[in-house]
Amino acid sequence: MIKYCLIGALLAGGLQTGFAQGPERINLSDPNLVVVDDSVIPIPLEIFASLDKLGAQNWASQVGKRDIVLDTNRSRTAMLFGLIVSDGFIAVQAEDKEGVKRMGREVLRLASTLGIGSSVEGHANSIITHAGHGEWDVVRKELDRTRQTAVNQMKEMRDEDLVDLVSLGGWLGGTQALAAVLRENYTTEGSDLLNQIDLVKQLKTDFNSLPKRARRGELFSQVEKTLTHLESLMISDSSGAISEGKVIEISLSTRNLVNAIYES
């Protein structure tokens, strides 16, 4: 089971205000981190709080506009759920009302496919309603509540494997957005936000610990290969930076995996 850490001060509202204390990097060994529950996602909350450090960005270009075709693969659906929540945060950052509404509807559709639709329906409807009014603080909080409610319900249903995959999808979506932004506007200071080596190692270990039935097929072979590749890329040099070339590779690797998850 993935045990992630969430910096207590980095609640959803910190994003809109340009919260100055976003983490420089995500470090699982940081003694100031507090474990919250057995499985929480530090991404996208921490990633997007960190991205405020990069200043104004073209967030609209990062908002996903994909048609999602569902199948009977619950493992893939769980990763899609994590990705869509992450996409919701991106759409909020872009203040894209229609994009956020679309994410709210997709969250509910995916949750229903996973058998937890009734648990998140209230959150999804709240996301759609408050997005229409441009109440971004409320939407951001509801996105996080949606994720946490889904995780809690999966645990009650003893679907711990799906919890791990939701976490993986959320991390992947946030990291892809971060790498895409840095690819367009590279700075050595910003590249340090991709120094997530401990987190990638943990994700890889936990993914490989999942039952084979939960990671069977070509898509999940690509997940494993991508995590291994990212582990080799997210190593900073002596100055603490990740080179522009590595940032481009991280961007391509995460984008290719996201595309594979959506298109499988």
Q: Is the peptide bond before 211 cis (omega within 30 degrees of 0)?
A: no
Report residue 196 as tokens: 């997530």
Quote the pTM value: 0.84
Q: What stretches of the chain show up as alpha helix (H) in DSSP? A: 45-51, 74-93, 97-113, 117-132, 136-156, 160-184, 188-191, 197-209, 218-233, 244-263
User: Domain limits of the chain?
Assistant: 5-263
Residue 105: predicted pLDDT:
96
Tell me the DSSP string of 17-47: TT-TT--SS--TT-TT-EE-SSS---TTHHH
CA distance 15 to 22: 9
* CA trace torsion 214, 216, 222, 227 (10° rounding): 40
CB-CB contact of 48 with 11 (8 Å) = no
Residue 193: predicted pLDDT:
82
Please give the chain's pLDDT, 264 residues, in tens: 443 333 222 222 233 333 334 445 544 444 443 333 443 345 455 556 666 666 677 777 878 778 889 999 999 999 999 999 989 988 988 899 999 999 999 999 999 999 999 999 999 999 999 999 999 989 988 998 998 899 999 999 999 899 989 989 988 998 898 899 889 889 888 888 888 888 888 889 889 999 999 999 999 999 999 999 999 999 888 887 899 999 999 999 999 999 999 998
Place of tokens 């971060």: 178
